[in-house]
């Protein structure tokens, strides 16, 4: 077998690493353009109401100000757009922090100063904004669908009967807070309307009218949204996004600043308009992981086999877009049970809409489910790994379809062996000075959804093979892995292949989301490489090119595809301060074929780090009177620092999944975060006997739990 034939699976350094570490990789805001202008948005200071007046005279008088944009002079949109982007159209406010004006000037400092001079008057409703979370509010109602795909109400069998007659039963109420995305690159964009095109350019499908440099998870979304809004053909909107400094869901769809910046640039043709949101502005209007309140009840027989799974979810949603994560999804598919019930309720509030955040639904739902499984294991006196193994389903419990592949048992048993999982029969039996020690385990899963086919083009030029598509590298290593996939399929060394991605002049590709990128894009690359060889042979002429699309195996709709894993945690809990320190984290994953161990490990360790951060620190506080996030910056919204991440390691099964297309790879970008909070919470119980059912596990919550349950347990010193 040639070296090229084994290119997939090799540990390869990222091809974009030299540019990034040297600061030469241009992110959206950093593209150099002649004489750019700078935009600063003005945000509403009320959560709901009418705009009765805007005084922008002082702002317009500032030297260097080119434009003050409001609903009074904003360009009218050609077509309706998604509700979040319907900004500067009417004199109204729908949530605190909505963009109500924008100032464009010749320097960022001038724009900021002028924006501070804009005065907006509001007429708020007499009752004030409705922003207070209340599960008993009379306006709370059940949901029929979640994200338009998942059932909002679903029942199989007599759940109540099984719960009433169960040999063992546990029931708990669990809560997760609002979490906000904080990628290292803020939301940013540059928009340029070309001024040198005549009026007939709108009927020339290849005449670019608008060029956008944007930070996103896929260029196709802003291209389509902006084309529709301004009455252009998609081919007349060029989007360039070669490097993205993280996203985690927040850049999956355009946010209001994209529309406002394009509007401002439309009124200033020939001048590039730049915007980079501050952290507080991102907290106000670029989405978040919604808060949840959950109830989970489990019933089991004397052998530990589940008889019922009952999962209720309550969440506040925005009146703009009622976004709800599919939180109860894991309870439908993770374990075998003859009866199951999931139900969702939502409260509509005057708040900004949520959006995707890494592992939406699975992250919050698996915290509740896997904590409840640990509670059941403790109730029965059964090993927590064994309890999970006894409830492994032979087929997907929700649909009855066979698994494409499922190696949960291997992840649990091999992971426990490598980690050295050893829980105490009686919590609180291990101590080092003031620190009580414990271990915990939790399973993880994430569905492998299909977002449609992608296209890839391979061209031979200058002695190299260039694979191009609209794929987006949001930090996942797509630049590297796509070249590896192409090199193996073409049977050439990787240094003869380069990727060109992140631009709309490449063939269409799905966005980088839902852990679909590598297997979806990769299958298109393999198909294109095989077609290239069939058309042009092994000695292609200069300029030889071929294009092909993603192809999944026939019958793929008849199987259930998911990525799986198991998380293991060791914690130390201070009986003095209540602080929780995670000493070790280990994850073992069923992610199909691993295309590049280095980038795969980076993805999984990154997910686990994010899970640790959410478990211990992350929580957005929304003022219940005014609707704004109080701790809307990285001084108040704490994320894990280097000192918090001590020992994290991963392993994997590595067996290709034949139903995942030509690569055999599953998605791994999200499964790494899913079970971490539950594993840490279960380890806290093992250390202290305290069952914490609300994230994050702050010192205050630990001390309050101890106060309500009595003094810390006596323990032996090891």
Residues tagged active-site: 670
Q: What is the DSSP letter of 245?
A: -
Q: Which residues are paired to 653 by β-bridges?
A: none
**How wide is the angle at C-alpha 355 spanned by C-alphas 353 and 360, nearest 5°?**
140
DSSP one-letter code for 496: G
Sign of CA dihedral 477, 478, 480, 485: positive
Give the number of other Cβ atoms within 10 Å of residue 399's Cβ.
12
Q: What are phi and psi of 678, to 5 degrees?
A: -65, -40
Least Cα distance to 522 among 356, 668, 408 occurs for 668
Q: Tell me how far apart the alpha carbons of residues 41 and 260 are, in angstroms, rounded to a whole number.
A: 8
> What's the alpha-carbon Rg for the chain, to the nearest Å?
26
CB-hemisphere CA count at 13 Å for 673? 23
- Structure tokens given for 510: 């799905």
Measured in residues, the chain has a length of: 718
Which of 449, 453, 451 lies closest to 524 in space, CA to CA? 453
- The secondary structure element, H or E, covering residue 115 is helix 108-117
Taking the C-alpha atoms of residue 213 and residue 242, their distance in angstroms, rounded to an integer, is 9
Q: How far apart are CA 47 and CA 545, in angstroms?
A: 54
Mode of pairing for the β-strands spanning 339-349 and 153-156: antiparallel
Q: Quick one: residue 640, left, alpha or beta (phi over 0 = left, psi -120 to 50 = alpha)?
A: beta
Contacts with 420 (C-beta within 8 Å, 6 or more apart), sequence order: none
Tokens representing residue 561 in the block: 């595809």
Tell the residue number behind the tokens 């050295």, with chain if given: 420
Closest CA relative to residue 679, chosen from 411, 396, 284:
411
Asked whether the bond before 438 is cis by omega within 30 degrees of 0, the reply is: no
Distances (CA, A) of 585 to 154, 274, 339: 35, 41, 33
Tokens 């009952």 belong to residue: 310
Structure tokens that stand for 373 in this block: 């499984």
């Amino acid at each position: 077998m040639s070296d090229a034939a084994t290119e997939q699976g090799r540990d390869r350094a990222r091809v974009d690493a030299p540019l990034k570490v040297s600061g030469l990789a241009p992110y959206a805001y950093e593209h150099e353009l002649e004489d750019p202008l700078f935009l600063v948005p003005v945000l509403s200071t009320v959560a709901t109401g009418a705009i009765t007046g805007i005084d922008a005279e002082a702002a317009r008088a500032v030297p260097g100000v080119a434009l003050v944009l409001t609903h009074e002079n904003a360009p009218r949109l050609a077509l309706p757009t998604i509700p979040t982007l319907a900004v500067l159209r009417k004199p109204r406010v729908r949530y605190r922090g909505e963009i109500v004006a924008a100032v464009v000037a010749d320097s960022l400092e001038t724009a900021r100063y002028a924006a501070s001079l804009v005065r907006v008057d509001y007429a708020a409703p007499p009752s004030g904004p409705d922003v207070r979370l209340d599960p008993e509010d009379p306006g709370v109602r059940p949901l029929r669908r979640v994200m338009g795909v998942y059932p909002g109400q679903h029942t199989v069998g007599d759940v109540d009967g099984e719960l009433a007659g169960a040999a063992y039963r546990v029931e708990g109420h669990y809560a997760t807070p609002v979490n906000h995305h904080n990628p290292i690159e803020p939301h940013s964009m540059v928009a340029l309307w070309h001024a040198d095109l005549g009026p007939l350019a709108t009927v020339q499908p290849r005449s670019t009218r608008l060029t956008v440099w944007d930070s996103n998870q896929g260029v196709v979304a802003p291209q389509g949204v902006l084309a529709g809004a301004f009455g252009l053909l998609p081919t007349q909107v060029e989007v360039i996004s070669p490097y993205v400094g993280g996203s985690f869901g927040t850049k999956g769809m355009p946010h209001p600043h994209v529309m406002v910046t394009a509007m401002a640039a439309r009124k200033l043709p020939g001048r590039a308009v730049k915007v980079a949101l501050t952290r507080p502005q991102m907290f106000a209007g670029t989405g978040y992981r919604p808060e949840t309140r959950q109830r989970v009840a489990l019933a089991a027989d004397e052998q530990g086999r589940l008889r019922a799974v009952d999962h209720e979810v309550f969440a506040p949603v925005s009146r703009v877009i009622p976004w709800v994560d599919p939180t109860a999804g894991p309870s439908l598919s993770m374990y075998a049970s003859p009866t199951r019930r999931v139900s969702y309720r939502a409260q509509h509030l005057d708040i900004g809409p949520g959006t995707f955040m890494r592992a939406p639904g699975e992250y919050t739902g698996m915290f509740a489910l896997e904590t409840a499984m640990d509670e059941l294991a403790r109730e029965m006196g059964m090993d927590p790994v064994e309890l999970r193994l006894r409830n492994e389903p032979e087929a997907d419990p929700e649909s009855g379809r066979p698994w494409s592949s499922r190696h949960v048992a291997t992840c649990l048993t091999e992971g426990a062996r490598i980690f050295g999982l050893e829980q105490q029969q009686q919590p609180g039996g291990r101590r080092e000075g003031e620190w009580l020690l414990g271990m915990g385990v939790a399973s993880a899963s994430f569905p492998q959804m299909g977002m449609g086919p992608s296209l890839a083009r391979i061209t031979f030029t200058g002695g190299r093979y260039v694979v191009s598509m609209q794929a987006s590298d949001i930090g996942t290593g797509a630049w590297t892995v796509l070249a590896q996939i192409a090199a193996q399929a073409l049977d050439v060394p990787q240094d003869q292949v380069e990727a060109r991605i992140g631009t709309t002049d490449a063939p269409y590709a799905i966005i980088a989301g839902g852990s679909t990128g590598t297997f979806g894009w990769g299958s298109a690359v393999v198909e294109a490489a095989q077609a290239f060889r069939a058309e042009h042979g092994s000695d292609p002429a200069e300029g030889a090119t071929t294009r092909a699309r993603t192809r999944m195996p026939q019958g793929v709709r008849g199987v259930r595809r998911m990525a799986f894993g198991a998380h293991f945690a060791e914690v130390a809990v201070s009986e003095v301060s209540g602080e929780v320190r995670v000493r070790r984290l280990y994850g073992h994953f069923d992610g199909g074929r691993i295309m590049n161990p280095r980038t795969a490990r980076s993805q999984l360790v990154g997910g686990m780090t994010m899970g640790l951060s959410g478990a211990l620190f992350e929580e957005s506080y929304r003022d219940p009177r005014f609707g704004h996030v109080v701790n809307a910056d990285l001084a108040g919204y704490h994320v894990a620092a280097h000192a918090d991440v001590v020992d994290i390691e991963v392993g994997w099964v590595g067996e290709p999944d034949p139903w995942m297309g030509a690569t055999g790879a599953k998605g791994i970008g999200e499964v790494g975060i899913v079970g971490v909070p539950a594993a840490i919470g279960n380890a806290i119980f093992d250390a202290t006997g305290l069952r914490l059912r609300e994230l994050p596990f702050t010192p205050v919550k630990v001390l309050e739990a101890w106060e309500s349950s009595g003094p810390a347990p006596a323990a032996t010193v090891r």
